[in-house]
């Protein structure tokens, strides 16, 4: 009689990923929720009280080539899950706090730009009444404060951090590719649902790269793997 085989052990990166997400889970969930709440307070205050008249962003030929695609709303809204992944993979409270400070600095830079140079996406005359979810979107994320796109900036900041964390954990290349594709879907969705124009997206991407690069300089990783 053959004895049953023991269940296969999880691969090291899967075990580490699970450990990282479980560690300080409640604190991370509450912290990310509080961060978003504070951000939206600052966002709406800046939107309603700009220092100067609002400048309408120019539409490029690439903007005209991209049609309105309401199905891209799901990718657009997925940012609110995406931005929680990098802090979710951190092991210590110190790591999460430092990451949050850099993310806050990025948002403050964007809001400062909006205050002194308020921008908006030109009205495109699209009837959104027949598209579910867009009324809610217009109430939460108005088409003002357009450039640089903080939607893209925070997604880019998150994408670079997630990639570095996945690389540190030696995860399969497929996970890092998926991370890049998720970021690309979020960035494209801002154009496809006409919340932003190409110039907003480019400026937001540059802002995200700048803050991610600065924040990762000299970063010391906490290792969850056993010492070898």
Domain ranges of the chain: 12-122+134-216
Average pLDDT over residues 63-89: 93
Is residue 151 scored above 60 in pLDDT? Answer: yes
Average pLDDT score, the chain: 86
- Per the listing, tokens 């004895």 go with 3
* Residue 134 pLDDT: 60
Question: What percent of the chain is modeled with pLDDT above 70?
Answer: 82
Is residue 49 scored above 70 in pLDDT? Answer: yes
Average pLDDT over residues 81-101: 93
Burial 200-222 (b: 16+ CB within 10 A, else e): bbbbbbebbeebbeebeeeeeee
Give the model's confidence band at 204: pLDDT under 50 very low, under 70 low, under 90 confident, else very high: very high
Report whether 180 contacts 159 (CB < 8 A).
Answer: yes
* Residue 228 pLDDT: 39
Q: What span, in angstroms and rounded, lies between the C-alpha atoms of 31 and 122?
A: 35
Average pLDDT over residues 148-176: 94
Is residue 133 scored above 60 in pLDDT? Answer: yes
Whole-model pTM over 0.75:
yes
Report whether 86 contacts 99 (CB < 8 A).
Answer: yes
Is residue 6 scored above 70 in pLDDT? Answer: no
Is residue 140 scored above 60 in pLDDT? Answer: no
* Residue 226 pLDDT: 43
Average pLDDT over residues 86-114: 93
Is residue 34 scored above 50 in pLDDT? Answer: yes
Task: Indicate the range of 18-22, 43-47, 92-96, 131-135 predicted with least confidence.
Answer: 131-135
Q: At what angle do helices 198-216 and 173-192 cross, to 10 degrees?
A: 140
């Amino acid at each position: 009689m053959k004895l049953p085989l023991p269940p296969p052990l999880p691969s090291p990166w899967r075990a580490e990923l699970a450990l990282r997400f479980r560690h300080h889970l409640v604190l991370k969930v509450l912290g990310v929720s509080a961060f978003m709440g504070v951000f939206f307070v600052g966002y709406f205050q800046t939107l309603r009280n700009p220092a100067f008249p609002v400048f309408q962003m120019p539409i490029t030929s690439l903007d005209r080539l991209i049609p309105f695609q309401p199905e891209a709303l799901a990718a657009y809204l997925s940012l609110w899950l995406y931005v929680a992944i990098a802090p979710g993979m951190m092991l210590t409270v110190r790591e999460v706090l430092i990451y949050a400070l850099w993310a806050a600095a990025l948002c403050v830079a964007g809001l400062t730009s909006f205050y002194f140079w308020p921008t908006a996406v030109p009205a495109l005359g699209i009837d959104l009444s027949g598209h579910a979810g867009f009324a809610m979107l217009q109430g939460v994320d108005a088409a003002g404060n357009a450039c640089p796109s903080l939607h893209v900036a925070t997604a880019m900041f998150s994408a670079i951090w997630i990639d570095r964390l996945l690389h540190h954990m030696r995860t399969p290349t497929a996970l890092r590719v998926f991370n890049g594709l998720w970021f690309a879907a979020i960035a494209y969705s801002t154009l496809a649902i006409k919340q932003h124009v190409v110039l907003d997206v480019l400026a937001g991407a540059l802002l995200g790269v700048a803050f991610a690069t600065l924040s990762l300089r000299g970063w010391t990783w906490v290792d969850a793997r056993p010492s070898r």
